[in-house]
Amino acid sequence: MLYREAGDFKTSYAADNQTFPIRFDRYGYYLVLAFAFLVMPMVISDYWANSIVIPFLIYAIAALGLNILIGYCGQLSLGTGAFMAVGAYACYKLMVAMPGLNIVFVVVLAGLVTAAVGTLFGLPSLRIKGFYLAVATLAAQFFLIWLFTRTPWFFNYSSTGMISAPTRTLFGYPVTGPSASAVSVYLVCLSFLVVMAWLARNLTRGTIGRKWMAIRDMDIAAEIIGVNPMRAKLSAFAVSSFLIGVSGALFFAVYLGAAEAGEAFGIDKSFLVLFMVIVGGLGSILGAFLGAAFLIVGPVLLKMLLVNQFDWSSDLAAHLEVMIIGALILAFLIIEPHGLAALWRTIKEKLRLWPFPH
Amino acid sequence: MLDTQDDGYMTADGRKIGGVAMEMRNITLRFGGVVAIKDISFDIRWGEVRAIIGPNGAGKSSMLNVISGFYHPQEGEVIYKGYKRPRMRPYEVARMGIARTFQNIALFEGMSVLDNIMTGRLNHMSSGFLSQAMWWGKAAREEEENREKVEKIIDFLEIQHIRKTPVARLPYGLKKRVELARALAAEPAILLLDEPMAGMNVEEKEDMCRFVLDVNDEFGTTIVLIEHDMGVVMDLSDRVVVMDYGKKIGDGTPDEVRNDEEVIKAYLGVAHD
Amino acid sequence: MPDTLLFAMEAALNGLTAGIMYALVALGFVLIFKASGIFNFSQGVMALFAALTLVGFQQGQVPFAHLINAIFGTRVHHFGWNLPTLLAIPATVGVMVVFAWAVERFVLRHLVNQKPIILFMATIGLAYFLEGLGDLMWGAEVKRLDVGIPQGMSGAVDDLTFGLFGYGFYMDTLDLYAMVIAALLVAVLVLFSQYTKEGRALRAVADDHQAALSVGISLRFIWVLTWSIAGIVALVAGIMWGAKSGVQFSLSLIALKALPVLILGGFTSIPGAIVGGLIIGVGEKLFDFFMQPIVGGATENWFAYMLALVFLLFRPQGLFGEKIIERV
């Protein structure tokens, strides 16, 4: 009887439109935020931060971005890895060129650069759809990675061909480079994720979001009722690439510390983020979180179980993991195309009626 | 300004019909070798209910698509509000106050009823990107104002109970009504309805007829309507265009059309005893 | 004749053989797309899987050996026999047919009437599943595949071109065989679709699903059939590529290039798949040949996709596709 909306009447349209219309959800959300910002930094170990929590935070931003493009606007992209690379390399070049610039601005600027590149590669979407577009984004994936690995300017002519992040501080604490502590990295990533999710939620709840969804559901009808398809699609590409670029910048600068385009941002990254979106739920902000959590935590747990517990070779565990991921994608698409987020909704609906289901 | 203005006329039931809102002049539309519309001219007056009838494949829907800018005719011109309309994309036409429904419902299946109708208000919302991203200032205010307008339409069409239902879960008749709501939300000057009553049962048809008449009456919306049900057409419309094989074979009040030799021969058939 | 031109011609010739490979994979795509409207992303992995399975049978590997050993602590690896190629190939075909049946039974059947984009993503999932399964079944190490096709530099081509231009082109004998086998495969497919009952049913379904259903053609049977044929085409592609560069994961990445091939050739045209494959194969070699001095090598990584992208902007329906008229 705890979880219910009865008696929780709305007296204004603003109250009816809010993100968590049910009081219980709202408090739950504040609780999670407080826990993430106040409790986690105290208790988190370096191992957990580096192997699970920080990758989760960063991938969740990328999944949010891709979900805007695929889940909200219906434009399939397989170029996520390359766009993350754009964010990473833009971040690197900016860090090196302007050592005095605050890292937060650097990351945001890197996102903006990625937005520009993403919009450029989104131009074909004005003429082509579906898997045709997927192939066009593959062009972005392979071309950009080639460009980053072959053009020495991008990695400042370093002999290894890698880019590595110099140390930058925030409020006096180093957040990039070898001396950055796991907790400060965690807090930076968390803050970015919260802000990005807030932006994504705002954009998807209003006019722009409805334009995207209209294009997704029926592009011709959308145009006839007054949606400018060019602006809708390109803005989706821009916003999506911005988020993906931010995630790429964080992935490189605060998480990896050093990266090489082909290795860190290959096509397998594109698929990984796509799978997060599918498993989490197409067209759902919450889904991006759930999908990223699932596909980051799942493999780690599987590996812990098989390799550490049962002494399997890590190769074997990796093969099984690939197979399981494939099977999960199929299962989700067949059973619940709206992913974990929809399962969550169903559970809540059941809860709302509990204990009187009829 | 082209010289198409006149004063209009009074209908039998005492409604004032205005001057010419839109005029189709010698429209010809071809798809490859197939001629869908052959040299058709007619006009639409402010405030009237104008029907387009004709057998299947007569080119009625193509005509509606020309009006809404989805098809571009090879010959002829569209005069709107006294000016020749240049070649436009459909969304630009929509912004000039023309809204429509579709023969095969074209709702956004992944969205709720409310969101579907809110998309109808797109052209009345202008908050910038940043304002929306922050949900601050104009964006939030605008959302509420437009929600109020949409709620009025929801009341008007009696669909309060399904406000938050995903469209995909609705039965056919309600979907048609939601589609009308979306078109109405745009507050169009001209509303195009492509077979709004197709596939409905008698009760649903009556409801829909009532809504169409109410819309015309209360908001003064000009309505262009394609319909197969002759009874409905004769009851609703002020003037009727009859098409057959892409040509116009009749144009006038329902009574005139009903008694037109050629129309009877081509469309209504001889079995009119 | 200037040397550059000769070198370019040699590069083009070698591109032709890569092109046949792309064309073979694209052919599998087209078959499935025509029959079921599904854009089968897993076609490349199917080629990898088929080649792995063939090698496994040939060498008498125990399937899932590593998995079995890990679970039961055993040390099984091989049955201790070597299956002759003539038996291993039908056995592999059998596995591909079982795979086709399983795909229909466990995946396609549950995804009828879904949007194409969902089906496409499902085949990406399928590709992952199959990749994991292949590695789990047969191990992931690079394997040599030998089905008895002669390999090495073709003396005939060398002599011929030397006689003509005074410069002998390098060409692998294997590639010559690949061309002949690919041509034979296409011929067999054409004969099958023209002159057998199943072939006619296949064309009927490709033409009009509803109509085909209404005259009593079982869609499920057709799906299993096309996926089986696609599996066989994948096997041929897998053998070719495996014999040339070994059976390894990169095979499925190379097969990704079949996607731009399809864009050039159109999704429904078999001649389109062949021509598109050859254009891309030759095009990327020539492009790399001429661009290498300017931008550095490895342009093959992206040339095909960029070509497809540019092509899409001007002719979205492909070389042989029909123009689409949009309706509401």
- Digit-coded pLDDT (tens) for B146-185: 999 999 999 999 999 998 889 998 999 899 999 999 999 9
The pLDDT > 90 percentage for chain C reads 17
> Which of A199, A213, A226 faces B108 most closely, judged by CB atoms?
A213
Average pLDDT for B28-48: 92
| ipTM for the assembly | 0.90
- Residue with the two structure tokens 């993906």: A244
The pLDDT of residue C320:
66
The pLDDT of residue A313:
84
Distance CA A152, CA A88 (A): 15
Stretch 130-149 of chain C: residues touching chain A, C-beta under 8 Å: 130-133, 135-136, 140
For chain B, domain boundaries: 1-97+189-200+208-273, 105-187
Closest-CA residue of chain C to B107: C328
Give chain C's domain count: 1
The pLDDT of residue B266:
73
Average pLDDT for A75-96: 95
The pLDDT of residue B86:
92
The pLDDT > 70 percentage for chain B reads 95
3-state secondary structure of B190: strand
pLDDT higher than threshold 80 for residue A283: yes
Cα C9 to Cα A72, A252, A268, C290, distances in angstroms: 48, 43, 35, 12
Of the pLDDT bands very low, low, confident and very high (cuts 50, 70, 90), residue C328 is low
Using an 8 Å CB-CB cutoff, list chain B residues near C324: none
The pLDDT of residue A70:
93
pLDDT higher than threshold 90 for residue C182: no
For chain A, domain boundaries: 61-353
pTM: 0.90
Question: pLDDT averaged over chain A?
Answer: 89
pLDDT higher than threshold 50 for residue B209: yes
Beta bridge partners of B223: B49, B191
pLDDT higher than threshold 70 for residue A356: no
Q: Return the HEC string of chain A.
A: CCCCCCCCCCCCHHHHHCCCCCHHHHHHHHHHHHHHHHHHHHHCCHHHHHHHHHHHHHHHHHHHHHHHHHHHCCCCCCCHHHHHHHHHHHHHHHHHHCCCCCHHHHHHHHHHHHHHHHHHHHHHHHCCCHHHHHHHHHHHHHHHHHHHHHCHHHHCCCCCCCEECCCCEECCEECCCCCCCHHHHHHHHHHHHHHHHHHHHHHHHCHHHHHHHHHHHCHHHHHHCCCCHHHHHHHHHHHHHHHHHHHHHHHHHHHHCEECHHHHCCHHHHHHHHHHHHHHCCCCHHHHHHHHHHHHHHHHHHHHHHHHHCCCCHHHHHHHHHHHHHHHHHHHHHHCCCHHHHHHHHHHHHHHHCCCCC
Average pLDDT for A158-187: 89
Closest-CA residue of chain C to B101: C328
Closest-CA residue of chain B to A212: B119
- Digit-coded pLDDT (tens) for B76-98: 999 999 899 999 999 999 999 99
pLDDT higher than threshold 90 for residue A353: no
In a domain, C296, yes or no: no
C3 vs C128, higher pLDDT: C128
Average pLDDT for C288-311: 83
Minimum mean pLDDT range among B44-53, B92-101, B201-210, C143-152: C143-152
pLDDT higher than threshold 50 for residue C207: yes
Of the pLDDT bands very low, low, confident and very high (cuts 50, 70, 90), residue C288 is confident
CB atoms within 10 A of CB C78: 12
Of the pLDDT bands very low, low, confident and very high (cuts 50, 70, 90), residue B137 is confident
Cβ <8 Å between B123 and A283: no
CATH of domain A61-353: 1.10.3470
- Digit-coded pLDDT (tens) for C54-74: 999 998 888 888 888 888 888
Closest to A321 in 3D by CA, of C67, B79, C267: C67
CATH of domain B105-187: 3.40.50.300
pLDDT higher than threshold 70 for residue B271: no
Cβ <8 Å between B132 and A202: yes
The pLDDT of residue B62:
93
Exposed/middle/buried for residue C75 (C-beta within 10 Å: 0-12, 13-18, 19+): exposed
Average pLDDT for C277-303: 85
Distance CA B253, CA B240 (A): 6
Beta bridge partners of B53: B242
Amino acid, res. C296: G
DSSP designation for B124: G
In a domain, C62, yes or no: yes
Give all chains having 3 or more CB-to-CB distances under 8 Å with chain B: A, C
Q: Which residues contact A24 (CB under 8 A, 6 or more apart)?
A: A2, A3, A4
In a domain, C227, yes or no: yes
CB atoms within 10 A of CB B3: 6
- Residue with the two structure tokens 């334009």: A211
Average pLDDT for C152-163: 76
pLDDT higher than threshold 50 for residue B3: no
CB C41 within 8 A of CB C276: no
3-state secondary structure of B161: helix
Pairing of strands B20-31, B75-80: antiparallel
In a domain, C308, yes or no: no
Average pLDDT for C259-283: 85
The pLDDT of residue B6:
64
Question: pLDDT averaged over chain B?
Answer: 88
The pLDDT of residue A1:
46
Closest-CA residue of chain A to C137: A319
The pLDDT of residue A188:
95
Using an 8 Å CB-CB cutoff, list chain B residues near C325: 31
Closest-CA residue of chain B to C325: B31
Q: Which residues contact A125 (CB under 8 A, 6 or more apart)?
A: A75, A133, A136, A233, A234, A237
Closest-CA residue of chain B to A16: B144
The pLDDT of residue C274:
86
Cβ <8 Å between A139 and C302: yes
CB atoms within 10 A of CB A9: 8
- Digit-coded pLDDT (tens) for A154-168: 998 988 889 999 989
Stretch 214-253 of chain C: residues touching chain A, C-beta under 8 Å: 253
pLDDT higher than threshold 50 for residue A85: yes
Using an 8 Å CB-CB cutoff, list chain A residues near B119: 210-211, 214, 222, 225, 227
CB atoms within 10 A of CB C293: 8
The pLDDT of residue C139:
84
Beta bridge partners of A27: none
DSSP designation for B160: G
Average pLDDT for A223-244: 95
DSSP designation for C82: -
User: Which two structure tokens, joined as six digits, stand for A124?
Assistant: 């074909």
Q: Which residues contact B245 (CB under 8 A, 6 or more apart)?
A: B38, B57, B58, B59
Minimum mean pLDDT range among B1-5, C48-52, C302-306: B1-5
The pLDDT of residue C318:
66
The pLDDT of residue A103:
93
- Order of all β-strands in the sheet with B34-45: B34-45, B20-31, B75-80, B83-84
Minimum mean pLDDT range among A73-82, A116-125, C142-151: C142-151
Domain containing C63 equals 3-257
Distance CA C258, CA C256 (A): 5
Closest to C281 in 3D by CA, of C247, C304, C255, C251: C304
Question: pLDDT averaged over chain C?
Answer: 83
Of the pLDDT bands very low, low, confident and very high (cuts 50, 70, 90), residue B200 is confident
Q: Do domains B1-97+189-200+208-273 and B105-187 have the same CATH topology?
A: yes
CA angle at A201 for the pair A196 and A204, rounded to the nearest 5°: 125
Cβ <8 Å between C308 and A267: no
**Residue A128 at interface with chain C, using a CB cutoff of 8 Å:** yes
B184 vs A8, higher pLDDT: B184
The pLDDT > 70 percentage for chain C reads 94
Cβ <8 Å between B31 and C328: no
Q: How far is C114 from chain B (nearest CA, A)?
A: 13
In chain B, helix, strand, coil percent, each to 5? Answer: 40, 25, 35
CB B16 within 8 A of CB B47: yes
- Digit-coded pLDDT (tens) for C168-180: 777 778 888 888 8
Q: Tell me which of C120, C309, C317, C323 to substitute to probe the interface with A (most A C-beta atoms closer than 10 Å).
A: C309
Average pLDDT for C278-283: 90
Superfamily of domain B1-97+189-200+208-273: P-loop containing nucleotide triphosphate hydrolases (3.40.50.300)
Q: How far is A243 from chain C (nearest CA, A)?
A: 22
